[in-house]
Structure 1
C-alpha cells in the first residue's frame, strides 16, 4: 500500500458518532484518574501509531491544535500523512509548542519539563500527552 492510500484509509467510519464515543471515553478517563476506559478500535492508523492514540487524535485534534510526535512516530511518513489528512493538525517544531503530544514509546519519553506546563491562570495552555 502506498503512502497516499495509507493517508486516506483508516479514519473513523462514522466521524461524528465515533468522535463522540472517543471524546466521552477521554472525558471519563480525565474525570476519574487511574481508571481504565474501554475503547473499541474505531480508527486504524498506520503503525507504529496505536488504534487508541489515533482515535484520540482524531477526536481532539484539528487545524488549531499543534501536534508533536515522539521520534518513533516522527520518523514514519505514513503516520505524519495520516494525522495530517484526518485531523489537519499542524506538526509542532518543539514539544513546548504543542497542544497535544503523541508518545508511542512512553519508556523512552523525554522529561516532562520539555512540554508546555501551562500556568495557574491558564492550565489549558499545557501540552496534553497521549500515551
Structure 2
C-alpha cells in the first residue's frame, strides 16, 4: 500500500481499478463455474435448483444489478455478491457495466481516503 500511496493519483487509481476488475470478474466466473459444476452433482444441484434459488436468480437478474456496484462500498460483501451474480447467471451485459461502476467507486476510495487511512494507521502503529 505504501508504494501505491506514493504514486500520482491517476496511476494509483488505474492500478487499483485493474486489480479490482480482475478480482471481481474472476469471482463472477468462479460463481458461474460453481453453478455449472453444481449441475453435475445431485446434492449441489438440489441446492442450486430449488425454488428459493430460482427466485433469487430472477431477482438478481432483474433487480440485483444495483447490488454489484453498491457492494464495493462494503467490506466483506463484494466477493459474495460477485460470486452470487455469477452463480445466478446474471447476464454479462448487465454485470460488466455494474462491476465497472463498482470498480471505479472502489479504486477512487482506495486511491484517496484508503491510502490516507492506511498511512495514519501505519504511522500510529510504528510511532
Q: TM over 0.5, yes or no?
A: no
User: Structure with the greater relative contact order (CA < 8 A, sep ≥ 6): 1 or 2?
Assistant: 2
Larger radius of gyration: 2
Richer in helix (by share): 2
